Amino acid sequence: MVTLAKEFNEQLVYERPESLADVHTHYCPGCTHGTAHRLVAEVLDELGIREDTILVASVGCSVFSYRYFEVDACEAAHGRAPAMATGVKRVHPDKIVFTYQGDGDLASIGAGEILHAATRGEKITAIFVNNAIYGMTGGQMAPTTLIGQKTNSSPFGRDVELAGYPMRMAELLAMLGGTVYSVRRSLHDARHILQAKKAIKIAFEAQMMGLGFSIVELLSSCPTNWRMTPQEAVNWVRDAMLPYYPLGDYKVAEALQTKSGRGRP
Amino acid sequence: MARELLKGNVAFAEAAIRAGCEAYFGYPITPQTELLEHMSRRMIELDRVFLQAESELAAINMVYGAAVAGARAMTSSSSPGISLMQEGFSYIAASEVPAVIIDIMRGGPGLGNIQPSQGDYNQMTKSAGHGDFRPIVLAPATVQEAIDLTVLAFDLADKYRTLVFVIADGAIGQMMEPAELPPMRELTRERPSWALTGAKDREKNLISSLHLGAVELEALNIKLQEKLQHIERSNETRYDAQEVEDAELILVAFGTAARVAQTAVQRMRAEGLRVGLFRPITLWPYPRQALANLTAQAKGFLVVEMNAGQMLYDVREIVGAQIPVEFYGRMGGTIPMPDEVETAAREMLQKIASKTTAREGSNGHVS
């Protein structure tokens, strides 16, 4: 591929970020985890912080994220990434520490850890991938599964009498004192992907400025477990998820206002 | 350093600080809370890491994070909190990072009570979490030993990149005794080569307990087992033996139970009875050889514990079936009284004597 560019004297306009390892991922075709990885890696490159960054990976489909990011990394127990990241950051206050978590990990088994990391104002960044389902275990109901959504453990559709309501984490975490940046973005089309990248950058900048806890919730697709084609899946993000999970800036600390530029994506 | 009157829990905390503990994470639970309180003041004064976590689960995972970052890290708790931490113990063991845990044991099972107990013996020495691993387990019987063993715990944790527990019943955490603290070690804040410090001018470091391939995970297990065998062979066992040289009956006990047993032994010795005390200080690795050596002359062993008989099975396994091993214990946070232990010991001495007489009567043949 590189030789082609030389022969035709083409200019390189798109390459793998240094922060992203040159390996195949295990993600399914059409899954937006790959997109989220790429955005985070581009941001780490652009901010020049790759060599100072430590990733705390989680349990779920993103369990192998430590293989894909070219940064020092550890793998936390299910839901405990914010606690483990707290330990890392308190020892290395001068490093950039981020968690990469799915909705089962962050909103269900790790709800306590993320709430308290946020409320303490831990100077860490959480990249939160919400695809409304447990992917790694094969498509069970998550705390974010939509009302009526059929999964392998809600075969009749999520019933609020039985399983309650989907959790809106970006809104919830925005209410806590230690949170300086809490926003929701979506990865369902190019325009929204670019907006998501801007938010990820601000979240890391918030940490670099030592302001407090920052989180970006990313609405994502899971075509395999949703039993859809990749195109149907991103359409479902737009048509079914967006109405329940409105995109927006739920908290932007004053020091970040100029970076954010506006109060909505 | 001069001897001073110190409360057990405070002694544990101050010893950890002087041993170079850089990061402490904990959660309040009786009867260990003074340890956390002491840390909350001293660690901040010394510009080290102190954090009161939202749960024991979070606390142990913060320790895990600090450990992968290359710091000397510890937590402390009491029995129910230790149960909650088991997830983290297993991950830390699998990741081969050092960490120190102090367990000030209370009565169980369940919420139990806040009285002294030794009910976590099996949990700590045999089943500290899922999968195959063992922590090193140290058991002090005095406040001075609480200090000395806490310092040792950090050194052993670093030396073998393993989990080290110091376990004491609530009595040792709560009581005050004269003891001497070690001098303060300066923090080096040097990080081991495997620690996560940012991949600057080197390949990235990765610390994970995930090994999806069965053969790959078996290889890790073999490595962990070899490390445990190495520790067992490395002269790390510690014990205290009193009046055992000519003893017919040897009491075996650790922690507060050993102090009670010691009083019983001293009283009986005053009457000329041939009794002694064997007190393991390392519960894992267990001082197997030292105990086994006593079977040459002892005619019986009496295990005294503040539980339903947990170390009992280790003693029976080491001593073998030829020599009787009996048990006296109290549960639920009750501390046995010396006269109770004495009664049990005298009964056993009588059995030994009648057996010896029977043997002599039958011309030395064992019936």
**Domain extents in chain B:** 3-196+207-233, 240-361
Burial of B231 (0-12, 13-18, 19+ CB in 10 A): buried
The per-residue pLDDT for B75 is 98
* A59: nearest Cα among A19, A110, A95: A110
Distance from the B27 Cα atom to the nearest Cα atom in chain A, whole angstroms: 13
d(CA B50, CA A86) in angstroms, rounded, equals 11
| B-chain residues near A41 (CB < 8 A) | none
Picking from B65, B201, B209, the nearest residue to A87 by CB comes out as B65
Which amino acid belongs to residue B322? Answer: Q
| A-chain residues near B61 (CB < 8 A) | 76-77, 80, 83-84, 87, 113
Residue of A nearest to B91 (CA): A77
CB pairs under 8 A between A and B: 131
| A-chain residues near B55 (CB < 8 A) | 112
- Mean pLDDT for chain A? 95
**A88 in reach of chain B (CB within 8 A):** yes
Q: A74 and B65 in contact by Cβ < 8 A?
A: yes
* B92: nearest Cα among B53, B129, B52: B129
Class of B240-361 in CATH = alpha beta
Q: A116 and B53 in contact by Cβ < 8 A?
A: yes
- Helix, strand or coil, per DSSP, at residue B103: strand
**Could you tell me whether strands A125-130 and A213-219 are parallel, antiparallel, or unpaired per DSSP bridges?**
parallel
Which of A58, A70, A88 to substitute to test the interface with B, most B CBs within 10 Å? A88
- SS3 assignment for chain A: CHHHHHHCCCCCCCCCCCCECCCCCCCCCCCCHHHHHHHHHHHHHHHCCHHHEEEEECCCHHHHHHHHECCEEEECCCCCHHHHHHHHHHHCCCCEEEEEEEHHHHHHHCHHHHHHHHHHCCCCEEEEEECCCECCCCCECCCCCCCCCCECCECCCCCHHHHCCCCCHHHHHHCCCCEEEEEEEECCCHHHHHHHHHHHHHHHHHHHCCCCEEEEEEECCCHHHHCCCHHHHHHHHHHHHHHHCCCEEEEECHHHHHHHCCCCC
Distance from the A196 Cα atom to the nearest Cα atom in chain B, whole angstroms: 25
Q: B58 and A83 in contact by Cβ < 8 A?
A: yes
Using the predicted structure, report yes or no on whether residue A13 has a pLDDT greater than 90: no
- Residues linked to residue B284 through DSSP beta bridges, in sequence order: B137
Picking from A63, A66, A91, the nearest residue to B23 by CB comes out as A91
Token pair 């110091």 is at which residue?
Answer: B166
| B-chain residues near A71 (CB < 8 A) | 198-199, 204
Distance from the A5 Cα atom to the nearest Cα atom in chain B, whole angstroms: 29
| B-chain residues near A83 (CB < 8 A) | 53, 57-59, 61-62, 65
Q: What percent of chain A has pLDDT over 70?
A: 95
Do A55 and A66 touch, CB atoms closer than 8 A? yes
The per-residue pLDDT for B355 is 84
| B-chain residues near A112 (CB < 8 A) | 54-55, 57-58
The helix (H) or strand (E) run that includes residue B280 is strand B275-280
Picking from B49, B69, B204, the nearest residue to A71 by CB comes out as B204
Region B3-196+207-233: CATH code: 3.40.50.970
Q: A72 and B205 in contact by Cβ < 8 A?
A: yes
Q: B58 and A113 in contact by Cβ < 8 A?
A: yes
**A202 in reach of chain B (CB within 8 A):** no
Confidence category of residue A171, pLDDT binned at 50, 70, 90: very high
Q: B61 and A80 in contact by Cβ < 8 A?
A: yes
Residue of B nearest to A81 (CA): B61
**A51 in reach of chain B (CB within 8 A):** yes
Which of A90, A97, A119, A124 to substitute to test the interface with B, most B CBs within 10 Å? A90
**A65 in reach of chain B (CB within 8 A):** no
The helix (H) or strand (E) run that includes residue B190 is none
| A-chain residues near B66 (CB < 8 A) | 87-88, 90-91
Distance from the A229 Cα atom to the nearest Cα atom in chain B, whole angstroms: 28
* A220: nearest Cα among A199, A193, A198: A193
pLDDT mean over A111-139: 97
Q: B54 and A113 in contact by Cβ < 8 A?
A: yes
**A240 in reach of chain B (CB within 8 A):** no
Q: B55 and A112 in contact by Cβ < 8 A?
A: yes
pLDDT mean over A14-20: 95
Q: B37 or A263: whose pLDDT is higher? A: B37
Distance of CA A173 to the CA centre of its chain: 14
Say how many Å lie between the first and final Cα of chain A, rounded: 36
Using the predicted structure, report yes or no on whether residue A2 has a pLDDT greater than 60: no
Q: How many Cβ atoms sit within 10 Å of the Cβ of residue B348?
A: 22
| A-chain residues near B84 (CB < 8 A) | none
Q: Given its phi and psi angles, is residue A164 left (phi above 0), alpha (psi -120 to 50 degrees) or beta?
A: left
| B-chain residues near A86 (CB < 8 A) | 51, 58, 62, 65
Q: A88 and B54 in contact by Cβ < 8 A?
A: no
* B82: nearest Cα among B64, B59, B53: B59
Say how many Å lie between the first and final Cα of chain B, rounded: 59
Question: Does the reported pTM lie above 0.90?
Answer: yes
Confidence category of residue A174, pLDDT binned at 50, 70, 90: very high
Q: A116 and B65 in contact by Cβ < 8 A?
A: no
CA distances from A22 to A56, A113, A240, B112 (A): 20, 32, 34, 54
Confidence category of residue A6, pLDDT binned at 50, 70, 90: low
d(CA A84, CA B130) in angstroms, rounded, equals 19
Print pLDDT tens along chain B (367 aa). 689 999 999 999 999 999 999 999 999 999 999 999 999 999 999 999 999 999 999 999 999 999 999 999 999 999 999 999 999 999 999 999 999 999 999 999 999 999 999 999 999 999 899 999 999 999 999 999 999 999 999 999 999 999 999 999 999 999 999 999 999 998 988 999 999 999 999 999 999 999 999 999 999 999 999 999 999 999 999 999 999 999 999 999 999 999 999 999 999 999 999 999 999 999 999 999 999 999 999 999 999 999 999 999 999 999 999 999 999 999 999 999 999 999 999 999 999 999 877 766 554 444 3
Q: B61 and A63 in contact by Cβ < 8 A?
A: no
Picking from A50, A90, A116, the nearest residue to B23 by CB comes out as A90
**Could you tell me whether strands B136-138 and B163-169 are parallel, antiparallel, or unpaired per DSSP bridges?**
parallel
Q: A116 and B58 in contact by Cβ < 8 A?
A: yes
**A80 in reach of chain B (CB within 8 A):** yes
List the domains of chain A with CATH numbers: 28-260 (3.40.50.970)
**Could you tell me whether strands A248-252 and B23-26 are parallel, antiparallel, or unpaired per DSSP bridges?**
unpaired
SS3 content of chain B, % helix, strand, coil (to 5): 45, 20, 35
Token couple for B304: 């005294």
Give tens-digit pLDDT for A83-99: 999 999 999 999 999 99
**A70 in reach of chain B (CB within 8 A):** yes
